[in-house]
Each structure stands twice: as structure tokens, then as C-alpha cells.
Amino acid sequence: MGEFDLIARYFTRAPRHAVLGVGDDCALLQPQPGMQWAVSSDMLVDGRHFLSTTPPAHLGHKALAVNLSDLAACGAKPVAFTLALALPQIDEAWLKGFSQGLWALADEHGCELVGGDTTQGPLNICITVFGEVPPGDAMLRQHAQAGDDIYVSGTVGDARLALEVFRGTLSLDAPHFEAARIRMEQPTPRVALGQALRGVANAAIDISDGLVGDLGHILQRSKLGAVLTTDWVADSAAISPALQTLPLNRRLDMALAGGDDYELLFTAAPDQADAVQDAANASGVSVTCIGRITANAGLQVLDAHGVAMSRRFASFDHFAR
Ligand code: ADP
Ligand code: MG
């Protein structure tokens, strides 16, 4: 099988909303009247973003999920994506699994594949997503306000928990490991929540590198500080039963600096608290209040007694030494 047969067999379907899909030099997309494009790319590199043990269907899911998560963080509605793929060889079992995982998540969100590029090389998956958002409605990192509550969606720390089990630094019983592994390999992009938070949240980001580090991006762009509480790490909807099995200090590291969570971290004025809960209920995901934005720069992490902790929660940086 050659490059073009591969594209035709695994990555071509009839266009739905696109004016023109796979097959020509460009795809053609027509935004809904009055909408803006929200565009984002994310790359997954073998050995760096995923383990070789990852089933191909999970990889297909994750490659799109991490991109949809960026649209969610802006409050955009997914429309289309492109897929640039470097493959070491043509492995039909792999392509079948990968494309199944990809199509399943794409269909769930009505997001269609409109083009891409395919080449031979070390396994590398790069997706670019296109979403729609009304002008001025995108939730941006720079729009946090002093006094805003800080929230996180879903649960944090599970992907790192699974990674540490794979690395052999931790062990878990089978059901807890399976639950954590699903969070690592098949994260759920909070697409509905992101759209429901438009006009409710001020600033938002999705957690890819670690909660504290990603909150740092909001603080830097908004030129503000924050106080983070940690009592929620002891017991709240944001901590899964699997993570609950760890002692509190290890749980803190996973929850605050684990990374790969693909949950939304967002800020909203205190008078929006009911609207935040309504958005969470409407989209079927929990949200947990974990702190407050302050006019003073800097980030304080408080222990269960409200005392500032001195330890650091370093987040992931591909170029850090
Ligand atoms: P070009 O020669 O213009 O670079 P290609 O030969 O790379 O075009 O691709 C042919 C067509 O197949 C294009 O429409 C391109 O968008 C599409 N395509 C290539 N690879 C993929 C892929 N992995 N997924 C979806 N579409 C793809
Ligand atoms: Mg090309």
C-alpha cells in the first residue's frame, strides 16, 4: 500500500460541513456567519508524549483530545481538523486502531478531518483544530480579574499517577490503575463545559503541563497573583478514588504538578458562582473551587491550616534541564 491508498483507506470520508475535504491542495472551510476561527495545533511525539505501550486506538483518541481541549479552553465549538502524520512503516493494524480511536472522538464532537500530510519517519502525530467562537467571547488567559475564584474541572493527577505506575515508582491495585490509565491514555476534553462557561468565566486554560504551572500562565498574562488552597486535595470531587489511595504529600505533587490532565482551569467573579455550577451541571462534569486571584503578584499555596507552603510544584517543560 502506498501513501495515497493509505490516506484514502484510513483518513478520507465524505465532507459534512466542509466545502471541500481531503483530496485537493487545500481544504475549504466556511465559518458560520459572524463567527471567528479559533485555531490550535498540538503534536504527539513517540517516547516523549506517549509510551510505546499505548494502544493505537487510544493514541488516535488522545491526539485529537489534546487539541479539542485547547478549543474548550477558549470556549470554541469544534468544527474541523487536519492531521500530519509521520509513520516509521505502513502497519495496517496500527492504522486501523489509530483511525478508529480518532474517528470515534471526532464524531462525538462533530469535528471533521479535512486534510493533512503523511510521510515516512519516526512516529509523530500533529493535529491542527479549527473551532468557532463569537467575536469577543473567547476565554483568554489575560482576562482574569483580582478577586476571581479559581476553579478546576473534573479530576487532576490521575494521568501522572498512571505514568508513575508505568515507570515503576508506584504500584496500584488493578481497578485503580485501569481508571488512572484511561485518564492518561484517553483524556476527556471538556468541550461542552468550555462553551457553557462563555460569558461566565473570565479567563481559562487547559491543564497540560501541570495545574500550578498552567495557572502561572494565567497569572503572567493577567499580571495578577493567586492564593491556592489545598484542602480540596484531601477530599473533593477533583481527587479520584485512585489518587485517594496515595498519602497526601504525593497526592499534592500529582494534583498540582502532574500534568496531562486536560481539565479546564478557569477564573470567575464570585457573583458568578451559581452560573459556574449551572454550566458544570449542564455539561455533566464537576467543578471545584481551589483558590482566588489576587491583585498582588505571585502565587501562594496554602496548606490545610491556611499556612503558605514553601515547597515548589514544578510543572513540565520540554526544554528544562
Ligand atoms: P500535497 O502534495 O499538496 O502536499 P498530499 O499529497 O500531501 O498533498 O496529500 C493529498 C491530499 O490528502 C491532500 O488533500 C491532503 O490534505 C490529504 N492528506 C494527506 N495526508 C493526510 C492525512 N494524514 N489525513 C487526512 N488527509 C490527508
Ligand atoms: Mg502534502
Q: Tell me the β-bridge partners of 301.
A: 228
Nearest CA to ligand 1 atom 12: 23
Residue 163 pLDDT exceeds 80: yes
Tens digit of pLDDT for each residue in 278-295? Answer: 999 999 999 999 999 999
Q: What is the CA(113)–ligand 1 centre distance, in A?
A: 11
The per-residue pLDDT for 82 is: 98
Region class of 287: left (phi > 0), else alpha (psi between -120 and 50), else beta:
beta
Q: Measure CA of the first residue to CA of the last residue in the chain; give whole Å.
A: 42
- Sketch the domain layout of the chain as residue ranges: 3-133, 141-301
Q: What are phi and psi of 60, to 5 degrees?
A: -60, -45
Place of cell 528544562: 320
Q: Are 222 and 147 in contact (CB under 8 A)?
A: no
Nearest CA to ligand 1 atom 21: 116
Of 13, 117, 128, the residue with max ligand 1 atoms within 8 A of its CB, to mutate for a pocket test, comes to: 117
Tens digit of pLDDT for each residue in 172-189? Answer: 999 999 999 999 999 999
β pairing state of 225-228 and 149-153: unpaired
Q: Are 158 and 184 in contact (CB under 8 A)?
A: yes
Closest by CA to 102, choosing from 57, 163, 37, is 57
CATH 3.90.650.10 fits 141-301, yes or no: yes
Across the chain, how many H-helices and E-strands are there? Answer: 11, 10
The mean per-residue pLDDT over the stretch 228-256 comes to: 96
Pocket of ligand 1 contains residue 113 by CB under 6 Å: yes
Tens digit of pLDDT for each residue in 25-47? Answer: 999 999 999 999 999 999 999 98
CATH of domain 3-133: 3.30.1330.10
The mean per-residue pLDDT over the stretch 119-139 comes to: 97
Q: What does the CA dihedral 105, 106, 111, 114 come to, rounded to 10 degrees?
A: 150
Q: What is the CA(165)–ligand 2 centre distance, in A?
A: 39
